[in-house]
Amino acid sequence: MKGYVKLILILILLLVVSRVSAYLATSYLDSNLPRENGFILGAQPYHIESGNKAVLVIHGFSASPVSMKELDSIFINNNITVHSILLPGHGTSAFDLNKINRTDWILASESAYLDLKKNYSEVYILGYSLGGDLALQISSKYNVSKVILINAPIQYNLNNLELLFPLIKFIEGYHIKGFFPGADKENKYFYKQYNLYRAIPVKSMQEVVYLSYEIRPNIEKINSPILIFQAEKDTLIDPFSALYIYSHVNSKEKKIITLKDSTHVNLTISDRKIITSESSSFLNN
């Protein structure tokens, strides 16, 4: 009996050490992100007035509007106002993200879309990764003028690790980036360039995956013209995602374009040119 008690005490000690270590590592990484007025540098939402049509730009998980800024020219050059939002829990601290769930992201992006609808003749949505799923969610409820998706996940390359989320959440609480299979293969330069969170609440990872499950039944409700970009070297999400979206939307105008050189977080210069050219044609069609 004493042996079992000793084992239990050791397990409890290991659990405490694991959670404390994860918390301290998160605090360190979080404190080293450059900040301005409470926001991580470049993370502030912004609005660029450029015409009576508008686009709602929704960034990806753990990112912020600065990661989308290079795509603004697509819209500005077509006289389309850019409204780039900051999703709840992003752009400030990983500890803020831990307080947020997928419903908060849905409500924030939907509210931004409805506000734009009041003031602009047409409203488009550009969504990247998590932002792509939110774009699909909005489009399943409203008649969005046009939708552009980049690496929108319907299925992740998790090898069933999502089944362990409850256990990992209990053991760690926070996890240093690289939990998702393939995430460490992405160019680490981009984490620094865009000031992405380096430590992520496991609870938030779970919310992102569950959102992708939640939107699947609603995709067939989408009728908006849709342009789908998927990186061929994306090791984080299953390329099946793009095919699933394409085959399940009821849009008359729909197209998939494969980005040959890009990964999930790194859009190469050559592929950005393709996105710019194809998106401009799509918007002007």
Tokens of 240: 């099946």
Q: Specify the 3-state DSSP secondary structure of 173.
A: coil
Q: Can you give the residue ranges of every domain in the chain? A: 2-284
In 3-state terms, what secondary structure has residue 272?
A: helix
**Per-residue pLDDT, 283:** 96
CA separation (Å) from 178 to 131, 151, 174, 191? Answer: 20, 18, 12, 11
What pLDDT score does 179 carry? Answer: 45
List of residues 6+ apart from 102 with CB closer than 8 A: 207, 208, 210, 211, 214
pLDDT tens digits, residue range 220-260? 999 999 999 999 988 888 888 999 999 999 999 999 999 99
Q: Which residues pair with 229 in a beta bridge?
A: 150, 257
pLDDT at 199: 84
Mean pLDDT of 96-112: 96
How far is Cα 60 from Cα 18, in angstroms, rounded to an integer?
28
| Fold entry, domain 2-284 | Rossmann fold (3.40.50)
List strand residue ranges (DSSP E) for the chain, in order.
35-36, 39-40, 46-48, 53-58, 80-85, 122-128, 146-150, 174-176, 199-201, 226-231, 254-259
pLDDT digits (tens, 9 = 90+) for 22-37: 778 778 888 888 888 8
pLDDT band at 166 (very low <50, low <70, confident <90, very high): low
